[in-house]
Structure 1
């Protein structure tokens, strides 16, 4: 029975691991933190997996666990002393033929998203994952109407951040 549970979990994790990577990218600033958060989310998913009843899609349940874990750890890290990794301060030599416009726009977007509250980050993440409002509301544990209202506010806030 335990082996079946383990095989089922590993299969689902492999199928949907990009969800975890995207959440990690949203809540971390470097590869070490990304790896740590990925590991912590995986542990929390494994601990909660025996209680997964299948009432929602596995991916929806996974989003919920991943976002809750990331938000909890993010809030804890806000209370600790912040340091910068020397690897974050690197120099790039830009080649003339390389157009980094799209990359720069993504960096600006992620920078803007990081200025949002934890809940707002989760909402915009699910929106960017092309989840409909019903899925967003199920994942976030709020009503569909509330999800729409909050999303409109978040979009307005992002516009202000990106176009001051």
Structure 2
């Protein structure tokens, strides 16, 4: 594969799947700066993976797997880095974009998804994107029955947290 062919495929994949990647980035990155870094890291991994793609799965499945695996390892690496060096508090997000009106429900959903462990966070995103249990199992390397059990627990947890908010008048 030539560099130009790889570049064409990369641009096409990123353009077609950027919404999927942004969902993962938003769920795994804490700040706008983290999200920018994670998007960049996922993009690099997508670029590197193009020669290995063999059309044995859908491109969407392939991108999702790369993005989730990259996000999970990025979070682990960031957590270790921050433990050692300490977070840089008080520094404004230089690269942040002008603020759009905030959808509080969407913000709550992403904050809640962000609070889940990596596997549950990944499952929540896959569920929101309409993947089947079988596809989720293939992407995450767990059994279909385990997917079902975990999704039921996630739904119960989200419902419980939602009720707590509405009962206490929060937001």
- TM-score normalised over the length of structure 1: 0.83
Partners of 2:73 and 2:115 in 1: CA distance? 17
Residues 87, 161 of structure 1: alpha-carbon distance in 2 compared, 3 angstrom cutoff: farther
For residue 9 of structure 1, report the CA deviation from its aligned partner: 2.5
Partner of 2:54: helix, strand, or coil? Answer: coil
Number of the residue aligned with 1:159: 159
For residue 29 of structure 1, report the CA deviation from its aligned partner: 2.5
Equivalent positions of 1:1-164 (< 5 A) are 1-2=1-2, 3-79=4-80, 80=82, 81-87=86-92, 103-164=103-164
- TM-score normalised over the length of structure 2: 0.80
Q: Is the 8 A contact 2:25 2:71 kept in 1?
A: yes
Larger mean CA deviation between 57-66 and 103-112 belongs to 103-112
Partner of 1:54: helix, strand, or coil? Answer: coil
Partner of 1:41: helix, strand, or coil? Answer: helix
Residues 85, 132 of structure 1: alpha-carbon distance in 2 compared, 3 angstrom cutoff: farther
Q: Is the 8 A contact 1:112 1:162 kept in 2?
A: no
Partners of 1:36 and 1:126 in 2: CA distance? 22
For residue 86 of structure 1, report the CA deviation from its aligned partner: 5.0
4+ long deviations beyond 6 Å:
none
Partners of 2:6 and 2:45 in 1: CA distance? 15
List alignment gaps of at least 5 residues for structure 2: 94-100, 165-171
Residues 162, 77 of structure 1: alpha-carbon distance in 2 compared, 3 angstrom cutoff: farther
Query: How many residues are aligned here?
Result: 152
List alignment gaps of at least 5 residues for structure 1: 89-97
For residue 10 of structure 1, report the CA deviation from its aligned partner: 2.0
Larger mean CA deviation between 118-127 and 129-138 belongs to 129-138
Partners of 2:148 and 2:39 in 1: CA distance? 29
Partner of 1:50: helix, strand, or coil? Answer: helix
For residue 87 of structure 1, report the CA deviation from its aligned partner: 4.3
